[in-house]
Amino acid sequence: CSRWEEEKKEGGVKWMQLEHRGPYFVPLYEPLPEDVQFYYDGKPLKLSLATEEIATFYAKMLDHEYTTKEIFQNNFFHDWRKEMTSEEQEIIQDLDKCDFREIHKYFVDKNEARKALSKEEKQKLKEEADKIQEEYGYCILDGHREKIGNFKTEPPGLFRGRGEHPKMGMLKKRIMPEDVIINCSRDSKIPEPPEGHKWKEVRFDNTVTWLASWTENIQNTLKYIMLNPSSKLKGEKDWEKYEVARRLKDVVHTIRAEYRKDWESKEIKKRQRAVALYFIDKLALRAGNEKEEGETADTVGCCSLRVEHIQLHPRLDGQEHVVEFDFLGKDSIRYYNKVSVEKPVFKNLKLFMKNKDPTDDLFDQLTTAFLNKHLQHLMDGLTAKVFRTYNASITLQEQLKALTNPEDNVAGKLLSYNRANRAVAILCNHQRSIPKTFARSMQVLQEKIDAKKKQVEEAQEEVKKAEDEFNETKDAKAEANVEKKKKLLTRLEEQLARLNVQATDKEENKQIALGTSKLNYLDPRISVAWCKKFGIPIEKIYNKTQREKFAWAIAMAGEDFEF
């Protein structure tokens, strides 16, 4: 039987056997060469090893916008001073007097040198990396050799965070074996810590799927080494996620009827829950957890929206009952949307906002826990995230049906696929900043199009010439020549059409991130079925890594699959 269909284990047990080498620790710090210097107040200053290492973290980021931000500078300087010797603390008292430029230049040059290596030298580096991957990058899980996702510890550096994170610039410390908890099976060969070190702890817990874990020092969160997405365990989990979303399809009508009824409820708490659920369902908003202030950037989700995040317009742009949303969501990505809502929702929002300050909670009676408890009661396994997965997948399926023209060539069908994927990314608000290289690569593409247009025009002339010749001579050779020239013209026209499609796609895609939804929210069986139905090679949709991750779907879905 295929490994996707082996027997399920009972009672929360995830594996019977787990053996691995433990994490690969990033190499220790290499001191700077003697001639690369740090300057304080214009004079060279030799730093102790620990202080110098942290200085290089800042130096490497000099051309980054982070180092211009005051919070970043203050956090960095505070943490750096803590690691200095007392003599260094005496001297180095002002970040503005620190000159990291020589160190910065050293790393830029080093980077350029690495890019300029010969093919053979690059191959040698690749072989070294592959050797580490072979040794540390695999584990044995229940008799299968499985790939590990992230088997290296994160290198030390300065914390960046997303958006205006209050902790940006803090020192992310080096992970030592003494910080690491190892998880494996009791009878396996227990991984050896690096020489002269010991593990924090070795556990034999087969109810969890991680291989090693440690606490990172900035957010005090746990970090884990997990299996690669292509592994059987992860594939099963992924498959289950989409099966839960498919179950929602059968009850979503009942749930919608119920929350609409609750808009008129006598309890304000129930009304708030019903309006929040409407937003989560209709707009695919995230639930939004309660957060501690000062620990993370000020971002919100549906339940944590404040009065200042929405504006109500009885009429706007020819629509009635418009809610204008403007807030920072996960990873400080701005959510901006104007939506026409149903009249009872509009009236309720007015009520929820009455006599409140801008910074007050919109849904003041509602917590994520209360909402999720209600969702669990509506359907087993239902959370706000399931709505995102369901709405994303169903949107893709409907858009593919509406947009795909069976008569189109492969390029045309792929443009339709990307447009359907874009509809989902817009629904989920998956944005990206316009790539730095966008303008240049668009220009290159435009030059290709112009050149191809010229070729088409020349080919049209050639066809006309050949036809004139045939009309005069009427001989077979001239007739064959006409056919030959027409064939060439057709081929060139197809190439031009393909380039035009590419340009359209690129332009429409510049600010939208398709990858997030493709990897996390869209049932891959929808895409696999579409490929099989229209004879599109799967590698046009999924790259190698994605094909490994979705091996289960490629094996399971036929062209008739319906989400």
Comma-separated ranges of CATH 2.170.11.10 domains in the chain:
18-26+123-232
Question: Which DSSP string corresponds to 516-557?
Answer: HHHHHTS-HHHHHHHHHHHT--GGGTS-HHHHHHTHHHHHH-
pLDDT in tens, 67-113: 999 999 999 999 999 999 999 999 999 999 999 999 999 999 999 99
Confidence of residue 11 (pLDDT cuts 50, 70, 90): low
Neighbours of 173 (CB within 10 A): 15
What is the CATH T-level fold of the domain 18-26+123-232, as seen in this structure? DNA Topoisomerase I; domain 2 (2.170.11)
pLDDT in tens, 164-210: 888 999 999 999 999 999 999 999 999 999 999 999 999 999 999 99
Identify the pLDDT of residue 556.
87
3-state SS of 381-429 is CCCHHHHHHHHHHHHHHHHHHHHCCCCCCHHHHHHHHHHHHHHHHHHCC
**Active site residues per annotation:** 521
Nearest CA to 323 out of 279, 287, 354 is that of 279
Rounded to an integer, what distance in angstroms lies between the CA atom of residue 320 and that of residue 318?
7
What is the CATH T-level fold of the domain 235-385, as seen in this structure? Topoisomerase I; Chain A, domain 3 (3.90.15)
pLDDT in tens, 463-498: 898 888 888 888 888 888 888 989 999 999 989 988
> Is a pLDDT exceeding 60 seen at residue 3?
no
Average pLDDT, integer, range 12-38: 93
Site of tokens 């708490």: 269
Identify the pLDDT of residue 1.
42
Handedness of CA 142, 143, 149, 154 (dihedral sign): positive
Percent helix, percent strand, percent coil in the chain, to nearest 5: 50, 10, 35
Average pLDDT, integer, range 437-446: 90
CATH code at 392-556: 1.10.132.10
Comma-separated ranges of CATH 1.10.132.10 domains in the chain:
392-556
Q: What is the mean pLDDT of the chain?
A: 91
In this structure, what token pair is assigned to residue 466? 């050949």
Residue 137: partners with Cβ closer than 8 Å, 6 or more residues away: 147, 148, 151
> Is a pLDDT exceeding 70 seen at residue 5?
no
Rounded to an integer, what distance in angstroms lies between the CA atom of residue 127 and that of residue 54?
30
Task: Choose the weakest-confidence range: 25-39, 113-127, 292-306.
Answer: 292-306
- The pTM of the whole model exceeds 0.85: no
> Is a pLDDT exceeding 50 seen at residue 40?
yes
Comma-separated ranges of CATH 3.90.15.10 domains in the chain:
235-385
CATH code at 38-120: 1.10.10.41
Contact call for residues 235 and 309 (beta carbons, < 8 A)? no
Identify the pLDDT of residue 294.
67
